[in-house]
A = this chain, B = another copy of it.
Amino acid sequence: MNLILLKPDEANNGGLPGADVRAVHIRDVLRAKAGDTVCVGVASGQRGTALLLGISTAQISWEIAWEKTTPSPFPLRLLVGLPRPQTARKILLECASLGFAEIHFFNAEKGDPAYAQSSLWHGGETKDLLHKAAAQAFTTLVPILARHASLDEALQRVAPAATEGNTRRVFLDIYEAGEALDKTLYAASSILIAIGPERGWSATERNTLRGAGFAGAHMGEHVLRVETACVAAGAIALAALGQWQRHGTR
């Protein structure tokens, strides 16, 4: 927990209840004392520096000096075939830490519909994972998460042509793509990456993607696990967007 991440409605409470996991972290891991400062941030909002006024098992109170600027989400979105829950957890953590603005799972033709029944998708776990990853990454940028019943439904919601502007749309395809991912992303102002499920794309899905303006791209000959492909493609996309150039220039 590099950043104490707050929900918007917690930002102006002047502190945290003593039993809150973040309060416990400040007390027992950071071992902070009154007068120390800790880095805080509001999910999808500003970061700030909290001056600790009082620390007890009942309550942590602070005064926060907020940064002037609110970071903008990176123009990078992921569309990925719904994988087994354990793989989905890795994708949520790693893609949130990299800074994907949106993560969209869809039921793929070669996927297993049973994955959607996992407890992962029916409680607060996904939000906790995304917040945990953002806090570790020291960012307030928490990805928007959505699930869709099919690739078609996902594309209707995620990639309506009329609103796309100069978004580059690519789908990873080790078997049929002729061009390397890094060569397809030059000069993009926004990137939407589609990655298939563990068993790969169906012929119908490939045609659907091409029809929706997605170009096939590969990352060489090695067959990567879905979560590894998400991180590798995300890094290539963030570099292509020039996103990393901003570091230290603020």
Q: Please give me the residue from chain B that is nearest to A250 by CB atom.
A: B221
Name A236's contact: one of B180, B183, B235, B247 (CB within 8 Å).
Answer: B235
Name A246's contact: one of B94, B220, B232, B245 (CB within 8 Å).
Answer: B220
Q: Please give me the residue from chain B that is nearest to A137 by CB atom.
A: B222
Interface size counted on chain A using CB atoms at 8 A: 38
Q: How far is the CA of A98 from the CA of B228 in the complex (A)?
A: 9
Per-residue 0/1 for A200-241: is the Cβ within 8 Å of any B Cβ (1 yes, 0 no)?
000000000000000000111111110010011111101100
The answer to whether A99 has its CB under 8 Å from any CB of chain B is yes
Q: How far is the CA of A101 from the CA of B203 in the complex (A)?
A: 34
The answer to whether A138 has its CB under 8 Å from any CB of chain B is yes
Q: How far is the CA of A189 from the CA of B141 in the complex (A)?
A: 36
Most buried by B among A98, A137, A220: A220
Q: How far is the CA of A99 from the CA of B234 in the complex (A)?
A: 18
- A25 smallest CB distance to B (angstroms): 16
- A228 smallest CB distance to B (angstroms): 5
The reply to whether B94 and A228 contact each other, CB–CB distance below 8 Å, is yes
Q: Please give me the residue from chain B that is nearest to A133 by CB atom.
A: B225
Given the contacts A244-B218, A245-B180, A2 and B228 also touching, CB distance less than 8 Å: no
Q: Please give me the residue from chain B that is nearest to A220 by CB atom.
A: B244
Q: How far is the CA of A162 from the CA of B236 in the complex (A)?
A: 32
- A43 smallest CB distance to B (angstroms): 15
The reply to whether A244 and B219 contact each other, CB–CB distance below 8 Å, is yes
The answer to whether A182 has its CB under 8 Å from any CB of chain B is yes
Name A182's contact: one of B180, B223, B225, B244 (CB within 8 Å).
Answer: B244
The answer to whether A61 has its CB under 8 Å from any CB of chain B is no
The reply to whether A231 and B220 contact each other, CB–CB distance below 8 Å, is no
Q: How far is the CA of A38 from the CA of B138 in the complex (A)?
A: 47
The reply to whether A244 and B98 contact each other, CB–CB distance below 8 Å, is no
Given contacts A97-B222, A180-B244, 6 further A-B contacts (CB under 8 A): A2-B223, A137-B224, A178-B248, A183-B245, A231-B232, A232-B232
What are 28 inter-chain pairs, A to B, with CB distance below 8 A? A97-B228, A99-B220, A136-B223, A136-B225, A137-B223, A138-B222, A138-B223, A139-B222, A174-B247, A178-B248, A180-B239, A180-B245, A180-B247, A181-B244, A182-B239, A182-B244, A218-B247, A219-B238, A219-B244, A220-B243, A220-B247, A221-B247, A228-B231, A231-B231, A231-B232, A231-B235, A232-B234, A236-B239
